[in-house]
């Protein structure tokens, strides 16, 4: 008879079944997020320790029906990564949220085999100092790309209220200025930026044979 059919092998069969189920579930989550056949970073941590990834989000202002702005950042282990006029900023805890009146919400996103240092290294070229734009290239744009780099997942559209304003900026400039209290000035350095193009570039980078997990 098969070794797994003998007495005392129930734990082994259960372990194999659980392993297969976890692998199938993880592959299902990753499928559709990547446009390639690579094994997503989250799957690399099924049997080995990984880096904990969290999304930090704080509401900006009271909002109104159909619109709520957020400031977001990404934590990898104990370090926070955020994007501002200074480029990608690294801090401890939830430093970029501390001056905001509302309390930040921290959500666990998953484990990854990729480090925060690796993410910052590869995304710095896309999020340079001086290229920040409140509506078109902001903290949420960075968080979206950082999550994709680390976990092959995208930022929930719920947090992209500022980007919604950016899309209407040309057609309804009066509304945009009213909401931003007249403080919004387009940054020419962000004119050519596109989250979709950046995600595509990250996808190609991670598909490259020379790309390593670090």
Beta-carbon count within 10 A of 167 CB: 12
Q: Are 45 and 114 in contact (CB under 8 A)?
A: no
pLDDT in tens, 23-59: 444 444 454 445 566 666 665 555 567 899 999 999 9
pLDDT in tens, 61-86: 776 667 788 999 999 999 999 999 99
What confidence tier does 107 reach under pLDDT thresholds 50, 70, 90? very high
The larger pLDDT score, comparing residue 104 to residue 36, is at 104
Q: pTM value? A: 0.75
State the number of CA atoms in the 13 A half-sphere of 102 facing the CB. Answer: 16
- Tell me 31's DSSP state: B
Map tokens 């480029």 to a residue: 87
Burial of 50 (C-beta count, 10 Å sphere; 0-12/13-18/19+): buried
Paired strand residues for 84: 87
Read off φ and ψ for residue 64, nearest 5 degrees.
-155, 170
């Amino acid at each position: 008879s098969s070794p797994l059919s003998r007495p005392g092998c129930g734990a082994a069969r259960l372990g194999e079944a659980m392993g297969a189920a976890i692998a199938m579930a993880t592959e299902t989550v990753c499928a559709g997020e990547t446009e390639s056949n690579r094994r997503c970073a989250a799957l690399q941590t099924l049997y080995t320790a990984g880096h904990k990834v969290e999304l930090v989000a704080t509401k900006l202002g009271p909002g109104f029906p159909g619109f709520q702005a957020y400031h977001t950042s990404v934590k990898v282990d104990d370090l926070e990564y955020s994007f501002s006029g200074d480029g990608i900023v690294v801090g401890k805890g939830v430093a970029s949220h501390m001056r905001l009146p509302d309390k930040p919400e921290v959500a666990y996103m998953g484990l990854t085999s990729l480090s925060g240092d690796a993410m910052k290294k590869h995304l710095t070229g896309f999020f340079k100092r001086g290229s920040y734009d409140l509506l078109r290239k902001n903290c949420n744009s960075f968080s979206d790309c950082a999550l994709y780099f680390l976990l092959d997942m995208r930022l929930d559209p719920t947090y992209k209220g500022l980007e919604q304003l950016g899309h209407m900026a040309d057609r309804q400039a009066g509304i945009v200025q009213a909401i931003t209290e007249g403080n919004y000035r387009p940054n020419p350095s962000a004119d050519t930026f596109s989250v979709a193009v950046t995600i595509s570039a990250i996808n190609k980078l991670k598909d490259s044979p020379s790309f390593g997990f670090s």
